[in-house]
Structure 1
Amino acid sequence: MDILNTIIILFSTLLIPLLLILSFVALKIFVGKSINNPQYPPVKGTVFSLLIHIKDLYDYHAAIAAEHSTYRILAPAQSYIYTTEPRNIEHFLKTSFNKYSKGESSRENMADLFGRGILLADGEEWKHQRKLASSEFSTRILRDFGCSVFRKNAAKLVRVVSQFSDVEGRVFDMQGLLMRCTLDSIFKVGFGVELNCLEGSSEETTEFMKSFDALNALVLWRFLDPLWKLKRFLHIGSEAFLRREAKIVDDFVYQLIWKKRQLLALKGDSNNGKEDILSRFLRESEKDPEKMNDKYLRDIVLNFMIAGKDSTAGTLSWFFYMLCKNPLVQEKVAQEMRDVFGDRFDNSIDDFIENITDANLEQMHYLHAALSETLRLYPAVPVDGKCADVEDTLPDGFRVKKGDEVFYVSYAMGRMPYIWGEDAKDFRPERWLNNGVFQPQSPFKFVAFHAGPRICLGKDFAYRQMKIVSTALLRFYRFKLAEETKDLTYKTLLTLHIDGDLPLCAISRTIF
């Protein structure tokens, strides 16, 4: 009897505080949100709805967006407003740019990954980073250096795939290879470091990659978990795990910065040290070492890495998946290569890849359309947005309260018939072409690279890398899914990755 009483008392002691916490959270979610006021977007759920649909989160948004182009999800501190209306997106990303910022809530949620880097910075801090990065991306030195690195790593990737194409029916994970290839490229172009992941990662690099991906998932979880701050305070659950992963990532990046400082000190004013992006920021940090300290540089490294590695590798993975699902499109891309390059390179990998020039790539309108069509359906960043710094009214008439988070849902937008027509869900590169020439769409309709003053600086850089890698691979191989009837889905992260592997088979193209 005493044991039973002890269990009841212990259970009550734990249950009562939990009920009080949940009651407090519920009050924060529903009080003061103007739920039934038609001047505000219709309420279609709470953060608990998002938690329930965590596995198919972006399709859940798409289902709501099919009925409501602007809607609200209630959170404890504010409302999350989601929209697929291009006019609204142009409004808060461009027309009323100064009324919206990344916001303290988003910065706090993502600080352990992005810190105060360019993706989260606001005001003068953002302008400073943007100016430096813009200057770097506009230089011919970086463009030529980047293309050289992309070609070199594309050649390595072709040779790795050749090991699998030699045996008929042998299956390999294309997404894993693309992740390693793009990681090699971004570290060389961005930070001047040879990782050689395609040739076999070191234990330290492998641990860093796993922790970086885990941190990506855990940061997104904070947007959905109303109790994450309590967990952080108590150092339990997902927040304890996040702290461990963040330390591994930080240790790796700080070591990278230290080594780069040492190298630059040895090189002095040599131009060789200025080829990569990190070198430029390190030189700049000498003007204001107190502000541009190692933490500042750490944030820059991780911001460029998630933009250069996760986004490009994820898009290329979806691209090859869609080519396998649409073999006619795959052969149209291959035919365009025949038309542009001819057959003068025989089977020499190095000769062919060395001749993948900007001039040749600019002629490949169908390839550009196929990559854009992939990004339309599988945008690298499926949801993104800003925070309202003042009360505002969107072009569709709905009001926004100060502090509300306003998101555009690019994943849902690509599937909306009221934006792209009745065949919106179909993979059809031809929608981007007019008489065989690529026709760009409004950046507020096709928001794969953000839009307005914060549009992605690396857009052309990303397209160039994706074209070089895909051209190299499709010149030498035809690809098919290991299980052709199996449909793959995404893993819910800040960036859109295929969940698990992308199991493909490669068949050598004996005749080009």
Structure 2
Amino acid sequence: MNMLFLFLFYSTSILFLCLILLFSILTLTTFIGQSIGNPKYPPVKATFFNQLINFTTLFHYLTQIAKTNPTFRILAPKKSKIYTTDTQNVQHILKTNFHNYSKGKFNHDTIVDLFGEGIFAVDGDKWKHQRKLASLEFSTRVHRDFSCNVFRRNAVKLVRVVSGFSNAGLVFDIQDKLMKCTLDSIFEVGFGVELNCLERSSKEANIFMKAFDDSNASVFRRYLDPFWKIKRVLNFGSEASLKKNVKIIDDFVHSLIKTKKELLSVQKDFEDKEDILTRFLLESKKDPSNMTDQYLRDIILNFMIAGKDTSANTLSWFFYMLCKNPLIQEKVTQEVINVTSTHESQVNLDEFVTNITDATLDRMHYLHATLTETLRLYPAVPMSGRTAEEEDILPDGYTVNKGETVYYLSYAMARMPYIWGDHAQQFIPQRWLKHGIFQPQSSFKFISFHGGPRICLGKHFAYRQMKIVSMVLLRFFRFKLANETNNVTYRTMFTLHINKGLSLYAIPRCDVSEVK
């Protein structure tokens, strides 16, 4: 008994001493050689310890610092990270001095397990190659028409699903339904495969979606976890979970690639109906040694997060803001009714959706402004960064060392009075309108779609999808929060998900018995 006690005592003591030693090493490497107080560099306002403590509200935490320090540093072991909300700095990094800023090795190594060699993770020739092929697809009239047809069909399915909850007076998670709707759309438009997980509630698709979202959060946390590489080697904790989730993702996507190859092998006229995946599959025949199935997997996941998460997240926050601002919800709905000339108490769903044309979408100025205001306050990607290839001086005068990463804070920028005025934190769609016509802002002030050479290719794709889905839902339903007292916030990850979903009631606006 005494021997067991002594063993436990010494083991605990050794573990405690190791932890103290480890903490001391982390503290020393965080503060030593960081030029703290040197006016040449941005002021130090926190360390990665502070970020870990405030992880669940990280974007709020960074916003509070940025209110008094538009550019600042946060210390991490052996390096510091620069954060900025200065619009001139953002333009400098993304456009003016674009060639000096890349994703960088640190960022690539951090996200490679999930994003691989896809367009969001790479620089140079790989980025140029993927962007060129994708831009060819996004720029065609065939793609525009086909994507709008897909959006309309899936919007009809979504209304039918929501009608089921509405008729029964049940609460439902609109974020979950929007995620499935946009997943169906991106798989059909981007990859030429129909999942139909919105209506069929595919178990396989649900497992894939959860694995992808959890992986998204796990990889993002790596930026603040100095031990993640050790945990990956030991297959321990969050890294063990990430490995399992990536395996689920890989199996799902490789099955998709196999299915697509089989379809193309028997399809004679695929060149007239090619989607993004088809373009890359055709390209892989020219260079099979480099464009492997693993590379195609990386491409699919990168375009999937762009096509699914950004639109679904924005629409989720959009409906949240409409529920918090019922007068704005009614104003958007009235514009839908007026532009579509559907003042009747009974409206046929299929006819209504069919009549949503490009011309109709172009007339929806207040809806466009409301979606854009949602994107301003709740950007799909709340923060992003670039790494300096050589030492540089930012427009505000601060020095960036070679290899240092500068993060621009989209979420925080929306809340800065020195960018958006005294009412920056308020939801005001009118700020985007002049005489009732939508007025765009600088892409380095409104940074939701990024700017410069890497500006989002799918911007118009996203707006078309979001407009069609929101028009159809608002014409047939009025939405109300299931619980007005619940604190709705985000899940800290690469994309701005609503944490634990958004529970709503849908109240019919017209005779939903006409929905067939």
- TM bucket normalised to smaller: over 0.9
**What is residue 413 of structure 1 aligned with on the other side?**
413
Return 87-96 or 17-26, whichever deviates more.
17-26
Q: Distance in 1 between the 2:202 and 2:350 partners?
A: 26
Report the TM-score, using the length of structure 2 for normalisation.
0.96
Correspondence 1:423-502 to 2 at 5 A: 423-502=423-502
Indicate how the Cα distance of structure 1 residues 406 and 436 shifts in structure 2: closer, same or farther if over 3 A, else same.
Answer: same
1:510 counterpart SS class: coil
2:423 counterpart SS class: coil
2:478 counterpart SS class: strand
The answer to whether the Cα contact below 8 Å between 2:347 and 2:511 also exists between their aligned partners in 1 is no
Q: Distance in 2 between the 1:178 and 1:270 partners?
A: 29
**What is residue 116 of structure 2 aligned with on the other side?**
115
**What is residue 105 of structure 2 aligned with on the other side?**
104
Instruction: Map Cα deviations across residues 371-396 of structure 1 (whole Å, 9 max, x no partner).
Output: 00000100000011111111111100
Q: Distance in 2 between the 1:240 and 1:205 partners?
A: 22
CA-CA distance at 1:344 after TM superposition: 7.0
**What is residue 291 of structure 2 aligned with on the other side?**
292
Return 215-224 or 237-246, whichever deviates more.
237-246
Report the TM-score, using the length of structure 1 for normalisation.
0.97
**What is residue 194 of structure 2 aligned with on the other side?**
194
**What is residue 53 of structure 1 aligned with on the other side?**
54
CA-CA distance at 1:204 after TM superposition: 1.8
**What is residue 159 of structure 2 aligned with on the other side?**
158
The answer to whether the Cα contact below 8 Å between 2:337 and 2:343 also exists between their aligned partners in 1 is no
Instruction: Map Cα deviations across residues 423-456 of structure 1 (whole Å, 9 max, x no partner).
Output: 1111000000000000000000000001110000
Amino acid at match of 1:298: R
Q: Distance in 2 between the 1:61 and 1:111 partners?
A: 25
Q: Distance in 2 between the 1:449 and 1:413 partners?
A: 13
**What is residue 370 of structure 1 aligned with on the other side?**
370
The answer to whether the Cα contact below 8 Å between 2:386 and 2:406 also exists between their aligned partners in 1 is yes
CA-CA distance at 1:270 after TM superposition: 3.2
The answer to whether the Cα contact below 8 Å between 1:141 and 1:275 also exists between their aligned partners in 2 is no
Q: Distance in 2 between the 1:76 and 1:134 partners?
A: 39
The answer to whether the Cα contact below 8 Å between 1:62 and 1:412 also exists between their aligned partners in 2 is yes
Q: Distance in 1 between the 2:469 and 2:374 partners?
A: 15
The answer to whether the Cα contact below 8 Å between 2:174 and 2:316 also exists between their aligned partners in 1 is yes
The answer to whether the Cα contact below 8 Å between 2:220 and 2:493 also exists between their aligned partners in 1 is yes
Q: Distance in 1 between the 2:185 and 2:86 partners?
A: 36
Q: Distance in 2 between the 1:202 and 1:173 partners?
A: 17
Percent identity at matched positions? 60
CA-CA distance at 1:78 after TM superposition: 2.2
Amino acid at match of 1:393: I
Unpaired stretches in structure 1, ≥5 consecutive residues = none
Return 325-334 or 479-488, whichever deviates more.
479-488
CA-CA distance at 1:485 after TM superposition: 3.9
Q: Distance in 2 between the 1:51 and 1:5 partners?
A: 35
CA-CA distance at 1:18 after TM superposition: 3.3
Instruction: Map Cα deviations across residues 142-171 of structure 1 (whole Å, 9 max, x no partner).
Output: 111100000000000011111122134x21
Q: Distance in 1 between the 2:246 and 2:177 partners?
A: 24
The answer to whether the Cα contact below 8 Å between 1:102 and 1:122 also exists between their aligned partners in 2 is yes
CA-CA distance at 1:25 after TM superposition: 2.4
CA-CA distance at 1:510 after TM superposition: 2.6
Correspondence 1:225-240 to 2 at 5 A: 225-240=225-240
1:483 counterpart SS class: coil
Amino acid at match of 1:44: K
Q: Distance in 2 between the 1:487 and 1:232 partners?
A: 34
CA-CA distance at 1:268 after TM superposition: 4.3
CA-CA distance at 1:484 after TM superposition: 2.6
Amino acid at match of 1:477: F
**What is residue 351 of structure 2 aligned with on the other side?**
351
Amino acid at match of 1:145: F
**What is residue 205 of structure 1 aligned with on the other side?**
205
Q: Distance in 1 between the 2:150 and 2:510 partners?
A: 27
Indicate how the Cα distance of structure 1 residues 5 and 486 shifts in structure 2: closer, same or farther if over 3 A, else same.
Answer: closer
CA-CA distance at 1:402 after TM superposition: 1.0
**What is residue 282 of structure 1 aligned with on the other side?**
281
Q: Distance in 2 between the 1:40 and 1:80 partners?
A: 11
The answer to whether the Cα contact below 8 Å between 1:491 and 1:499 also exists between their aligned partners in 2 is yes
The answer to whether the Cα contact below 8 Å between 1:47 and 1:226 also exists between their aligned partners in 2 is no
Q: Distance in 2 between the 1:114 and 1:326 partners?
A: 37
The answer to whether the Cα contact below 8 Å between 1:70 and 1:81 also exists between their aligned partners in 2 is yes
Amino acid at match of 1:456: C
Q: Distance in 2 between the 1:98 and 1:444 partners?
A: 17
**What is residue 506 of structure 1 aligned with on the other side?**
506
Unpaired stretches in structure 2, ≥5 consecutive residues = none
CA-CA distance at 1:55 after TM superposition: 1.1
Q: Distance in 2 between the 1:411 and 1:25 partners?
A: 29
1:82 counterpart SS class: strand
**What is residue 389 of structure 2 aligned with on the other side?**
389
Count of residue correspondences:
510
**What is residue 139 of structure 1 aligned with on the other side?**
140
Return 21-30 or 192-201, whichever deviates more.
21-30
**What is residue 404 of structure 2 aligned with on the other side?**
404
2:286 counterpart SS class: coil
Q: Distance in 2 between the 1:54 and 1:270 partners?
A: 47
CA-CA distance at 1:238 after TM superposition: 1.0
CA-CA distance at 1:74 after TM superposition: 1.0
1:469 counterpart SS class: helix
The answer to whether the Cα contact below 8 Å between 1:145 and 1:275 also exists between their aligned partners in 2 is no
CA-CA distance at 1:511 after TM superposition: 8.2
Amino acid at match of 2:93: F
CA-CA distance at 1:295 after TM superposition: 1.1
Correspondence 1:13-162 to 2 at 5 A: 13-162=14-163
Instruction: Map Cα deviations across residues 397-422 of structure 1 (whole Å, 9 max, x no partner).
Output: 11111111101111011111111011
Instruction: Map Cα deviations across residues 110-164 of structure 1 (whole Å, 9 max, x no partner).
Output: 1111111011110111111111111111011111110000000000001111112
1:286 counterpart SS class: helix
Q: Note if 1:2 corresponds to 2:15.
A: no
1:205 counterpart SS class: helix
Amino acid at match of 2:261: R
The answer to whether the Cα contact below 8 Å between 1:78 and 1:405 also exists between their aligned partners in 2 is no
Amino acid at match of 1:64: I
Amino acid at match of 2:285: E
Q: Distance in 2 between the 1:412 and 1:485 partners?
A: 25
Amino acid at match of 1:491: R
Return 21-30 or 459-468, whichever deviates more.
21-30
CA-CA distance at 1:105 after TM superposition: 0.6
Q: Note if 1:183 corresponds to 2:183.
A: yes
CA-CA distance at 1:227 after TM superposition: 0.9
CA-CA distance at 1:351 after TM superposition: 0.2
Q: Note if 1:216 corresponds to 2:211.
A: no
Amino acid at match of 2:358: D
